[in-house]
Amino acid sequence: MPWVECVPNFSEGQRPDVVDAIRAAVASVEGAHVLDASSDPDHHRSVLTFIAPPDRVGEAAFRAVRAASRLIDLDQHQGQHPRIGAADVVPFIPLRGVTMAACVQIARELGDRVARELDLPVYLYEEAALRPERRNLAYVRRDHYETLKNTIETDPDRAPDFGPSRLGKAGAVAIGARGPLIAFNAFLDTANVQIAVEIARAIRESGGGLPHLKALGLLVGGQAQVSMNVVDYRRTSLFAIMQRLRAEASRHGVAVVGAELIGLIPQAALIDAALTFLQLPPETRNRLLEQRVGLATGDYAELRFE
Amino acid sequence: MPWVECVPNFSEGQRPDVVDAIRAAVASVEGAHVLDASSDPDHHRSVLTFIAPPDRVGEAAFRAVRAASRLIDLDQHQGQHPRIGAADVVPFIPLRGVTMAACVQIARELGDRVARELDLPVYLYEEAALRPERRNLAYVRRDHYETLKNTIETDPDRAPDFGPSRLGKAGAVAIGARGPLIAFNAFLDTANVQIAVEIARAIRESGGGLPHLKALGLLVGGQAQVSMNVVDYRRTSLFAIMQRLRAEASRHGVAVVGAELIGLIPQAALIDAALTFLQLPPETRNRLLEQRVGLATGDYAELRFE
Contact across the interface for B242 and A305, Cβ inside 8 Å:
no
Domain C-terminal end among B159, B177, B195? B177
The string of DSSP codes covering B229-248 is EES-TTTS-HHHHHHHHHHH
Residue A84 included in any domain = yes
Domain harbouring B63, CATH code: 3.30.990.10
Residues B8 and B137 in one domain: yes
Note whether B102 contacts A: Cβ–Cβ < 8 A.
Answer: no
Residue A135 included in any domain = yes
For residue A203, what are the domain limits? 182-265
Looking at every residue in chain B, the average pLDDT score rounds to 94
Return the bridge partners of B211, or none: none
Residue B292 included in any domain = no
pLDDT bin (cut points 50, 70, 90) of residue B297 is: confident
- Residue A252 is among the residues annotated as catalytic for this protein: no
For chain B, the straight-line distance linking the first and the last C-alpha, in angstroms and rounded, comes to 33
Note whether A254 contacts B: Cβ–Cβ < 8 A.
Answer: no
Residues A43 and A115 in one domain: yes
Quick check: B304 pLDDT over 90? Answer: no
- Kindly compute the dihedral angle of the four CA atoms of residues B277, B282, B283, B285, in this order, to the nearest 10 degrees: 60
Residues B153 and B251 in one domain: no
Domains of chain B: total = 2
Residues A188 and A238 in one domain: yes
Residues B186 and B235 in one domain: yes
DSSP state of A288: B
Amino acid at the residue A46: S
The alpha-carbon gap from A52 to the nearest alpha carbon of chain B, in Å, equals 10
The alpha-carbon gap from B246 to the nearest alpha carbon of chain A, in Å, equals 10
Instruction: Calculate what percentage of chain B has a pLDDT beyond 70.
Output: 97
Q: What are phi and psi of A35, to 5 degrees?
A: -95, -30
Beta strands in chain A (DSSP E): 3-6, 9-10, 33-40, 45-52, 87-96, 122-126, 173-177, 182-188, 213-220, 223-230, 256-262
Domain C-terminal end among A177, A212, A245? A177
The alpha-carbon gap from B80 to the nearest alpha carbon of chain A, in Å, equals 23
pLDDT bin (cut points 50, 70, 90) of residue B124 is: very high
Contact across the interface for A280 and B293, Cβ inside 8 Å:
no
pLDDT tens for each residue of B19-65 = 999 999 999 999 999 999 999 888 899 999 999 999 999 999 999 99
Residues A132 and A30 in one domain: yes
Residue A299 included in any domain = no
Domain C-terminal end among B132, B148, B177? B177
Q: What is the pLDDT of residue A71?
A: 97
A/B interface, count of CB pairs below 8 Å = 193
Amino acid at the residue A54: P
> Please, what is the Cα angle at A89 between A88 and A94, to 5 degrees?
160
Contact across the interface for B284 and A265, Cβ inside 8 Å:
yes
Q: What is the pLDDT of residue A77?
A: 86
pLDDT bin (cut points 50, 70, 90) of residue B1 is: confident
Residues B173 and B247 in one domain: no
Hey, which residues of B are catalytic here?
Answer: 81
- List of chain A residues whose C-beta atoms are within 8 Å of the C-beta of residue B274: 238, 270-271, 273-274, 277
- List of chain B residues whose C-beta atoms are within 8 Å of the C-beta of residue A279: 186, 242, 256-259
Residues B114 and B46 in one domain: yes
Q: Kindly report the pTM of this predicted structure.
A: 0.87
H-run or E-run covering B273: helix B267-277
pLDDT bin (cut points 50, 70, 90) of residue B299 is: low
Q: What is the pLDDT of residue B306?
A: 39
Q: Which residues contact B67 (CB under 8 A, 6 or more apart)?
A: B21, B22, B24, B25
Note whether B232 contacts A: Cβ–Cβ < 8 A.
Answer: no
- B249: phi > 0 → left, psi -120 to 50 → alpha, else beta; which? alpha
β B9-10/B87-96 pair status: antiparallel
Residue B285 included in any domain = no
> Please, what is the Cα angle at A168 between A152 and A262, to 5 degrees?
90
Q: Count CA atoms closer than 13 A to B271's CA, side-chain side.
A: 22
Domain harbouring B212, CATH code: 3.30.70.670
Residue A166 included in any domain = yes
Residues A47 and A90 in one domain: yes
Helix axes of A193-203 and A238-251: crossing angle, nearest 10 degrees: 130
Residue B169 included in any domain = yes
Gyration radius of chain A over CA positions:
20
Q: What is the pLDDT of residue B81?
A: 80
ipTM of the shown complex? 0.88
Helix, strand, coil percentages, rounded to 5, for chain B: 40, 25, 35
- List of chain A residues whose C-beta atoms are within 8 Å of the C-beta of residue B306: 94, 99-100, 179
Note whether B189 contacts A: Cβ–Cβ < 8 A.
Answer: no
Q: Collapsing DSSP states into helix, strand and coil, what is residue A122?
A: strand
Gyration radius of chain B over CA positions:
20
β A173-177/A122-126 pair status: parallel
Residues A205 and A219 in one domain: yes
Return the bridge partners of A220, or none: A223
Residues A160 and A186 in one domain: no
Q: What is the pLDDT of residue A306?
A: 39
Helix, strand, coil percentages, rounded to 5, for chain A: 40, 25, 35
Under 8 Å between Cβ of A91 and A33: no
Quick check: B85 pLDDT over 80? Answer: yes
Residues B209 and B254 in one domain: yes
Residue B134's closest CA among B142, B124, B119? B124
DSSP state of A188: E
Test mutation, B127, B189, B254, B293, chain A, max A CBs within 10 A: B293
Contact across the interface for A300 and B305, Cβ inside 8 Å:
no
Q: What is the pLDDT of residue B293?
A: 87
Residue A291 included in any domain = no
Mean pLDDT, residues B119-130: 98
Contact across the interface for B305 and A179, Cβ inside 8 Å:
yes
pLDDT tens sequence for chain A (306 residues): 899 999 999 999 999 999 999 999 999 999 999 999 999 888 899 999 999 999 999 999 999 999 999 999 999 988 778 899 999 999 999 998 899 999 999 999 999 999 999 999 999 999 999 999 999 998 999 999 999 999 999 999 999 999 999 999 999 999 999 999 999 999 999 999 999 999 999 999 999 999 999 999 999 889 999 999 999 999 999 999 999 999 999 999 999 999 999 999 999 999 999 999 999 999 999 999 988 888 888 765 555 443
- Long-range pairs, A27-33, Cβ under 8 A, ≥24: A28/A63, A29/A56, A29/A59, A29/A60, A29/A63, A30/A56, A31/A56, A32/A56, A32/A57, A32/A60, A33/B293, A33/B296, A33/B297
For chain A, the straight-line distance linking the first and the last C-alpha, in angstroms and rounded, comes to 33
